[in-house]
Chains A and B, each alone.
Chain A
Amino acid sequence: MDRQAMAATVRSMALAIADANPEVGSLVLLGILRRGRPLADRLAALIGEVTGTTPPVGSLSTTMYRDDVRAGGAVPAHKGHTHFDFNVDGRTVLLVDDVLAAGRTIRAAMDEVMDYGRPRRIQLACLVDRGGRELPIQADYLGYSIATGPGEWVYVRLNELDGEDAVLLQCGGEPVEPEQEGA
């Protein structure tokens, strides 16, 4: 996927989100660090263009809620912190991530959001679903779906962090950016 294709995909996701959430005033976006945050910013801006109301955006770091940490996995790297300055009580929280895979990041994200309050509902937007689910979680708004097999890895690259917009598929070898594979 190149820059234009990604722009079109993100726009269509924003339209779907705006369509499904007529009460835009109660919508808040939480981008899962790292690449979920710039995606959330883009979606919020596009929702603002369509509806005239730009929902607030925050960042969510799920590292302290991951089940693989408690199982003796790697200590989380320094990838930024959860930060948002709005209340989630009674609101629609839209979680935004780049790659959806096992579903464990999203479970961790939901646990964390619940520690901040009681949203009316939680929705999920992901740019790419690469399959391989280990938990019963699915995206409400999805850009692309790619069924990957063993040894295949999906990387999302975003202009804000990587200097380009692209979705790349790696076949074979070790993953070069393992941080995106915990989803």
Chain B
Amino acid sequence: MAEANQTVWTRKDLIGIADLSRGEIELVLDTAPQFVAVSQRASGIKKVPLLQGRLVVTWFHEPSTRTRSSFELAAKRLSADTLAIASSTSSSVKGETLHDTLANIEAMRADIIVLRHGCAGAPHLLAAGHASHIVNAGDGRHEHPTQALLDCFTMRDSLRRRLGNPEASLDGLKVAIVGDVEHSRVARSDIHALKKLGAEVVLCGPSTLIPRGVEQMGVTVTHKLREALADADVVYSLRIQLERQAKALFPSLREYIKLFRIDAETLKFAPDHAIVMHPGPINRDLELSTEVADGPRSVILQQVTNGVAIRMAVMHLLANSAAARA
């Protein structure tokens, strides 16, 4: 059995991976397995009473099915009450400020507020002035911390199974992130987390979709898929945001498919043990072929399953830590 992580959780909020230490990231990853076990109970009740009587509000200003339902399910499995607020139904459309809306939510005695917002920095702005625990569920192009945590957990779990070593860490793991890095808050959070955990990160995509100067984050960049996938333990495909294609950031979808799609042929560039990941939703046959997305090396659905456990761990640590209350 792994030794207990000595890190103590002291944060009121989870805003970004950039703020976290390696110990804090590992504390979340080490806390999650007990919540995986809760969700996997073959018989009995898939719930624990850790947030019994608490109110978790999911407040989403952008469309989301996967992340919001994952947080809601996580809250319910912790026995919390949940309240969903969508931007289309909130008073923000009537001109109410974020602070005022949050003050009203807090007046209903919300304990945890899970916020998704199109503007980078919105969760940070709110966390500073309010007592509720704020969890960033994606802010603009900035960060999506729980996605990065579930990604790292899935990579570590897969690595540990493959090696048969329950102590294996991500140190030295090579992760190839392929696709639209420029617009991806998932990629940004993943890079922060993977670098802090000692992994090697290679970014691959059209030059218009790789941010300039990203090498300063300690990653390498290539525009050749074959190079990116060589020796990669993890092939992480990002979603092409078709809604942004109006800006013509690459010549054509056909060309993107030819150069950057992960399919059975291109996956041969990677070692046999490499796993395939994607944050979803997938544009099938654009970023990933169906054969690969549904294939034996895909852990995409495990990412979804692990996402619930990671969000349970995060909300538990935020709301139940004595240190966080001090």
Q: A residues near B, CB below 8 A?
A: 61, 63-65, 69-70, 72-83, 87, 89, 111, 115-117
Contacts and interface: CB of A to CB of B under 8 A. Distances in A.
B107 interface: no
B50 A78 contact: no
A61 B31 CA distance: 13
Interface residues of B, number: 28
Contact of A117 (B1, B44, B322, B325): B44
Nearest to A108: B49
B220 interface: no
Contacts of A64: 34, 38, 48-50
Given A74-B322, A78-B31, A83 B37 contact: yes
Interface in B234-281: none
B283 interface: no
A115 B321 CA distance: 24
12 contacts: A70-B320, A72-B320, A74-B322, A75-B317, A76-B34, A78-B3, A78-B4, A81-B34, A115-B44, A116-B43, A116-B44, A117-B44
Contacts of B33: 81
Nearest to B26: A78
A113 to B, nearest CB: 9
Given A81-B33, A82-B37, A83-B37, A69 B4 contact: no
A69 B34 contact: no
Nearest to B35: A64
Interface of A is mostly: loop
B50 A69 contact: yes
A112 to B, nearest CB: 8
A155 to B, nearest CB: 18
B9 A75 contact: yes
A87 B30 contact: no
B316 interface: yes
Interface in B29-62: 30-31, 33-34, 37-38, 41, 43-45, 47-50, 52
A73 B322 CA distance: 5
Contacts, number: 63
Given A69-B50, A79-B4, A111-B49, A87 B321 contact: no
Nearest to B5: A78
Given A69-B50, A115-B44, A116-B43, A78 B30 contact: yes
Contacts of B34: 61, 63-64, 76, 81-82
B308 to A, nearest CB: 15
Interface of B: 1-5, 8-9, 30-31, 33-34, 37-38, 41, 43-45, 47-50, 52, 316-317, 320-322, 325
Contacts of A116: 41, 43-45
Nearest to B312: A64
Nearest to A83: B37
Contacts of A80: 1
A80 B37 CA distance: 11
B44 to A, nearest CB: 4
Nearest to A34: B1
B173 to A, nearest CB: 21
Nearest to B7: A75
A177 B219 CA distance: 43
B180 to A, nearest CB: 36
B321 A75 contact: yes
For the complex of A and B, list the 6 residue pairs with the smallest distance between their C-beta atoms, beginning with the closest: A116-B44, A64-B48, A77-B4, A115-B45, A81-B37, A78-B4
Contacts of B317: 75
Contacts of A82: 34, 37
Contacts of A61: 34
A64 B77 CA distance: 12
B55 to A, nearest CB: 14
A182 B252 CA distance: 63
Nearest to B313: A75
A73 B325 CA distance: 10
B233 to A, nearest CB: 25
Given A78-B5, A78-B31, A70 B325 contact: no
Nearest to A61: B34
A115 B47 contact: yes
Nearest to A74: B322
Contact of B49 (A70, A78, A89): A70
A105 B149 CA distance: 31
A96 to B, nearest CB: 18
Contacts of B8: 75
A78 B33 CA distance: 9
B4 A72 contact: no
Nearest to A72: B322
Contacts of B45: 115-116
